[in-house]
């Protein structure tokens, strides 16, 4: 409509200009002005030449050919990729503008990656299911806010023939607000730039759960005209501000017949002036160049290289800060070493990474089918680390009395050199073997390794594909297990490396919308935090006996006309249930109905339910950011948690309305996932996503 108005306005201006010039007096009366005859520079033609029929047709055709195109830009003009898709070739995918997973906006409650938390979005979290990190090398060990961080691996890169903007807002009133903005555009066909901006702000359901998170990323993708050189760049800023309330003081909030306070916001808490601040900032540059033949079967197809050299530079500053400005009246902390009323603990980790890589690809083709394809990646990674830890020392007294000063307790710098090798062999287009080897060859974490192998057997779309995977991992203990100095926690331990051996089997059938995965883990020298008997002092602990764990997951989607029923179930069983505190059973089901309303509104009505069986709940250590096994053991009743929602698409706008925890009060007044920290209450959330292509 706006475009039409612009053209109508332009047409009116043209008519106005014609009549305006008609009011000018005869230009011959103005000395120095050119006459109409002088404006005619074509002396080879007569001014009033009559055109034949063919000449008139040619003139109209010329006008049509030179007419400016009126293009309506849509998502078809936007292509998206990420670093993983660019790993072996240049692949770009269409932009996903569907409503798929639109209702699962919260990073804590993703259907296949649920997390336990302290009761509100933005607060400390941990994986609900057993999912060990497949990383080696130095690890500070502070991961209680990882779900809210933006990392270089999260960045998407675009090819945009038109500027693309997406604005998304989820609002649950003051209790929860999430805003996301993405903008990208191509400066020229080779260079794309853009940014991501995220805000998470919430008051929460209880006192002092007011979170303020900000993520900003500026990114760029450059590809040369020859398609041989690529540069991925991003600059990331994370600033997460999280209060610590030490949990509510009422441990019988759901069992008492009547609450003393009218609302949950009135419930008193153990801490009133304490909090965490995590700042994670980095610069990431990845460039690679194809030095061999570039295969591309058709225009616009993926670029398949035969050789590639690459270099990656990553500079990161990670800061963890904890502040306390109050007396610990309700025993939120186990002890103090420097001050009973004031804490200013901080850890600063600087990381410089240089990665050099060479890749070789051999892709012979026979009758259009890829066979005997060989891939070889060789890499050398240099990691330079430096960390400093500070506390506030109030024990120094001068002539003016007691003073407060920042005291550096430890400072270390070191280097790790890691060798990487990745080999792949495709026997045919249905059989693929992939081997990935990583070994720390020199430095502080010498001896760390991760060996991973995957065999894929693919059939037709109806028969599906089978994936066998196995890996062996040896990783150093995190810093907060071995050397940690703060006002409330001091650790100096010597632990063995943690070892994990795992094998898995997966069956995926896209036609049946079915995926099945069985995983077996053997964990040796398992590291975790546990409390001393009848204590709240979380202490690093190592279980030297081997731990066995079996994990089976099944996903199955059903479709009956307009009805859809998506399901995911996970079963876990371990012989050390008191140590690995995760539920044996977790399920997620989503039933929804899709239709076209008023001939323009693509709508979906649905309800989802998540449930996990009872398990021994962990506790949370304030000031350390760790979930730990407390004593005595605390097991809470577990009930299904249901939400109902409506989502719809109107032209370029996605609309969303959801009532979270709609069944609160049906089975129970509420639930716990962490000792002393009640879960979130029911709330109404409204969401809107606007998309612009110009």
pTM for the structure as a whole: 0.85
Question: 233: closest CA among 281, 286, 196, 157?
Answer: 286
pLDDT at 42: 42
The burial class, CB within 10 Å (0-12 / 13-18 / 19+), for 266 is exposed
Vertex 244 angle, CA 240 and 247, to 5°:
140
Q: How many CB atoms lie within 10 A of CB 548?
A: 12
Comparing C-alpha atoms, which of 538, 540, 512 is closest to residue 528? Answer: 540
How far CA 97 is from CA of 168, 217, 651, 689, 690, in Å, comes to 13, 21, 11, 10, 11
| pLDDT-derived band at 485, boundaries 50, 70, 90 | very high
Q: Return the pLDDT at 31.
A: 36
Q: How distant is the alpha carbon of residue 453 from its chain centre?
A: 26
Query: Helix count (H) and strand count (E) of the chain?
Result: 4, 42
Rounded average pLDDT over 280-300: 79
pLDDT at 395: 56
Residue 46 pLDDT? 43
Cβ–Cβ contacts within 10 Å for residue 593, how many?
14
Residue 29 forms part of a structural domain: no
Q: Residues 70-123: pLDDT tens digits?
A: 556 667 788 999 998 888 778 888 888 788 888 999 999 999 999 999 999 999
Give the per-residue pLDDT at 363: 72
Indicate whether 52 belongs to any domain. Answer: no
pLDDT at position 87, please?
Answer: 82
pLDDT of 219: 97
Highest mean pLDDT among 48-52, 159-163, 536-540, 640-644: 640-644
Task: Give the residue with greater pLDDT, 381 vs 428.
Answer: 381
Please give the average per-residue pLDDT across 204-228, as a whole number: 93
Indicate if the alpha-carbon torsion angle 397, 398, 400, 404 is positive or negative: negative
The answer to whether position 639 is within a domain reads: yes
The pLDDT of residue 27: 39
Confidence of residue 9 (pLDDT cuts 50, 70, 90): very low
Give whole-number Cα distances, 562 to 513, 559, 568, 594, in Å.
16, 7, 20, 5
pLDDT band at 415 (very low <50, low <70, confident <90, very high): very high
> What are residue 140's phi and psi, to 5 degrees?
-60, -30
Which pLDDT value is given to residue 451?
Answer: 97
Select from 606, 563, 570 the least CA-distant residue to 588.
570
Residue 401 predicted with pLDDT over 60: no
Residue 354 has pLDDT above 90, yes or no: yes
Q: Which residues of 443-461 are buried (b: 16+ CB within 10 A; e: fewer)?
A: bbbeebbbebbbebebeee
Q: Is the predicted pLDDT of residue 23 greater than 90, yes or no?
A: no
Strands 373-393 and 274-290: unpaired
What is the arithmetic mean of pLDDT over 195-221? 94
Q: What percent of the chain has pLDDT over 90?
A: 65
Given a cut of 50, whether residue 41 has pLDDT beyond it is no
Three-class SS of residue 103? coil
Q: Is the pLDDT of residue 408 over 50?
A: yes
- What average pLDDT does range 641-653 have in this prediction? 92
Q: Which helix (H) or strand (E) holds 12?
A: helix 2-22
**Does pLDDT of 352 surpass 90?**
yes
Range of the domain at 270: 81-692
Contacts 24+ apart (CB under 8 A), 497-500: 497/447, 497/448, 497/525, 498/474, 498/523, 498/524, 498/525, 498/526, 498/527, 499/472, 499/473, 499/474, 499/523, 499/524, 499/525, 500/132, 500/471, 500/472, 500/473, 500/524
Tokens of 237: 């800023």
* 486, 391 Cβ separation under 8 angstroms: yes
Cα–Cα distance, 102 to 105 (Å, whole number): 6
CA dist., res. 234 & res. 281, Å (int): 11
Lookup: tokens for 405: 């000063």
Residue-wise pLDDT tens digits, 564-590: 999 999 999 999 998 999 999 999 999
Please count the other Cβ atoms lying within 10 Å of the Cβ belonging to residue 217. 23
Q: Is 43 a member of any domain? A: no
Among 22-26, 104-108, 220-224, 468-472, which stretch is predicted with the lowest mean pLDDT? 22-26
Omega prior to 174 cis, within 30 of 0: no
- In the chain, the number of structural domains is 1
Q: How far, in Å, are 200, 457, 652 from residue 208 at the CA level?
A: 15, 52, 38
**Cα–Cα distance for residue pair 660/654, rounded to 1 Å:** 19
- The C-alpha atoms of residue 308 and residue 287 are separated, in whole angstroms, by 10
36 backbone dihedrals φ, ψ, rounded to 5°: -55, -35
Contact 328, 279 (CB under 8 A): no
Q: What is the dihedral of CA 147, 152, 155, 158, to 10 degrees?
A: 180
Taking the CA atoms of 319, 120, 334 and 138 in sequence, report the sign of the dihedral they define.
Answer: negative
Query: pLDDT digit string (tens) for 308-350?
Result: 999 999 999 999 999 999 999 998 999 889 888 889 999 999 9
Mean of pLDDT values over 373-377: 89
What is the CATH number for 161? 2.40.170.20
> 145 is written with which tokens?
């806010």
Inform me whether the pLDDT recorded for 192 exceeds 80: yes
Pairwise CA distance, residues 92 & 301, whole Å: 9
Q: Is residue 353 part of a domain?
A: yes
CB 549 within 8 A of CB 574: yes
Report, in this order, helix, strand and coil percent for the chain, each rounded to 5: 10, 55, 40
Mean of pLDDT over the chain: 86
Q: Domain for residue 44, yes or no?
A: no
Tokens of 77: 């003009």
pLDDT of residue 305: 73
d(C-alpha 678, C-alpha 118), whole Å: 7
- The region, left, alpha or beta by phi > 0 then psi within -120 to 50, assigned to residue 339 is beta
CB 622 within 8 A of CB 641: no
Q: What DSSP designation does 28 have?
A: G
Per DSSP, 44 falls in state T
CA gap 466, 518 in Å, rounded: 12
Chain centroid offset of residue 81 CA:
14
First vs last Cα of the chain: how many Å apart? 14
pLDDT reported for residue 298: 47
Instruction: Look at residue 69 and tell me if it is in a domain.
Output: no
The answer to whether residue 16 sits within a structural domain is no
pLDDT at 63 over 80: no
DSSP string covering 251-309, please?
Answer: TTTTTSSS-SSSSGGGS-BS-SSEEEEEEEEEEEEEEEEE-S-EE-SSTTSPBEESEEE
Contacts of 523 (CB under 8 A, 6+ apart): 132, 498, 499, 500, 546, 547, 548, 549
Least confident of 359-373, 591-605, 664-678: 359-373
- Strand (E) or helix (H) holding 482: helix 479-482
Q: Token pair of 320, please?
A: 């963890």
Q: Environment class of residue 678 by beta-carbon count within 10 Å: exposed (0-12), middle (13-18) or buried (19+)?
A: buried
**588, 568 contact by CB (below 8 A):** yes
Asked whether the beta carbons of 107 and 127 are under 8 A apart, the reply is no
Residue 3 in this model has a pLDDT that exceeds 80: no
């Amino acid at each position: 409509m706006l475009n039409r108005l612009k053209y109508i306005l332009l047409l009116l201006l043209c008519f106005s200009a014609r009549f305006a010039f008609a009011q000018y007096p005869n230009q011959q009366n103005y000395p120095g002005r050119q006459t109409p005859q002088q404006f005619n520079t074509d002396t080879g033609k007569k001014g009033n030449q009559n055109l034949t029929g063919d000449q008139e047709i040619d003139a109209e055709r010329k006008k049509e050919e030179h007419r400016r195109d009126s293009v309506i830009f849509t998502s078809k003009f936007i292509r998206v990729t990420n670093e993983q898709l660019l790993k072996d070739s240049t692949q770009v995918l269409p932009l996903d503008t569907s409503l798929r997973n639109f209702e699962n906006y919260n990073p804590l409650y993703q259907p296949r990656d649920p997390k336990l938390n302290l009761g509100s979005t933005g607060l400390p979290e941990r994986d609900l299911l057993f999912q060990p990190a497949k990383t080696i090398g130095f690890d500070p060990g502070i991961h209680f806010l990882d779900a809210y961080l933006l990392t270089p691996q999260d960045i998407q890169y675009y090819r945009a023939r038109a500027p693309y903007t997406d604005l998304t807002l989820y609002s649950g009133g003051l209790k929860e607000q999430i805003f996301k903005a993405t903008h990208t555009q191509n400066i020229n066909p080779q260079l794309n730039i853009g940014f991501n901006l995220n805000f998470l702000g919430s008051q929460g359901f209880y006192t002092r759960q007011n979170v303020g998170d900000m993520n900003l990323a500026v990114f760029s993708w450059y590809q040369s005209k020859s398609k041989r050189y690529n540069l991925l760049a991003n600059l990331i800023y994370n600033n997460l501000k999280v209060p610590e309330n030490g949990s509510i003081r009422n441990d019988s909030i759901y069992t008492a017949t009547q609450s003393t306070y009218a609302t949950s916001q009135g419930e008193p808490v153990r801490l009133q002036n304490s909090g965490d601040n995590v700042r994670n900032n980095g610069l990431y540059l990845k460039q690679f160049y194809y030095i061999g033949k570039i295969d591309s079967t058709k225009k616009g197809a993926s670029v398949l290289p035969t050789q590639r050299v690459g270099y990656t530079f990553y500079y990161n500053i990670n800061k963890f800060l904890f502040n306390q400005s109050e007396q610990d009246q309700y025993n939120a902390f186990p002890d103090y070493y420097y001050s009973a009323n004031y804490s200013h603990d901080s850890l600063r980790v600087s990381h410089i990474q240089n990665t050099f890589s060479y890749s070789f690809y051999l892709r012979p083709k026979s009758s259009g089918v890829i066979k005997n394809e060989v891939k070889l990646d060789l890499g050398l990674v240099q990691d330079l680390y430096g960390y400093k830890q500070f506390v506030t020392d109030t024990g120094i007294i001068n002539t003016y009395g007691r003073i407060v000063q920042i005291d550096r307790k430890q400072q270390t710098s070191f280097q790790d050199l890691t060798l990487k090798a990745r080999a792949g062999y495709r026997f045919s287009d249905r059989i693929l073997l992939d081997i990935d080897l990583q070994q720390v060859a020199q430095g502080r974490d010498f001896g760390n390794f991760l060996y991973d192998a995957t065999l894929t057997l693919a059939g037709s779309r109806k028969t599906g594909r089978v994936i066998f995977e196995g890996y062996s991992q040896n990783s150093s203990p995190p810093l907060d297990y071995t050397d940690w100095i703060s006002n409330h926690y001091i650790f100096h331990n010597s632990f063995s490396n943690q070892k994990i051996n795992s094998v898995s089997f997966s069956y995926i059938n896209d036609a049946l919308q079915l995926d099945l995965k069985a995983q077996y883990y053997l964990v040796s020298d398992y590291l975790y935090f546990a409390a001393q008997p009848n204590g709240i002092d979380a202490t690093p602990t190592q279980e030297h006996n081997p731990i066995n764990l079996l994990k089976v997951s099944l996903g199955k989607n059903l479709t009956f006309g307009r009805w859809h029923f998506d399901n995911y179930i996970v079963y876990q069983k371990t012989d050390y249930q008191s140590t690995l505190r995760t539920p044996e059973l977790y399920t997620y089901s989503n039933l929804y109905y899709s239709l076209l309303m008023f001939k323009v509104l693509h709508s979906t009505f649905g309800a989802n339910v998540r449930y996990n069986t009872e398990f021994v709940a962990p506790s949370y250590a304030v000031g350390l950011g760790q979930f730990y096994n407390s004593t005595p053991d605390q097991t809470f009743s577990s009930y299904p948690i249901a939400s109902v929602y409506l989502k719809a698409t109107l032209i370029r706008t996605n609309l969303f309305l959801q009532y979270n925890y709609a069944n609160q009060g049906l089975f129970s007044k509420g639930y716990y996932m962490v000792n002393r920290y009640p879960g979130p209450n029911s709330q109404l959330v409204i969401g809107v996503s606007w998309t612009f292509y110009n």
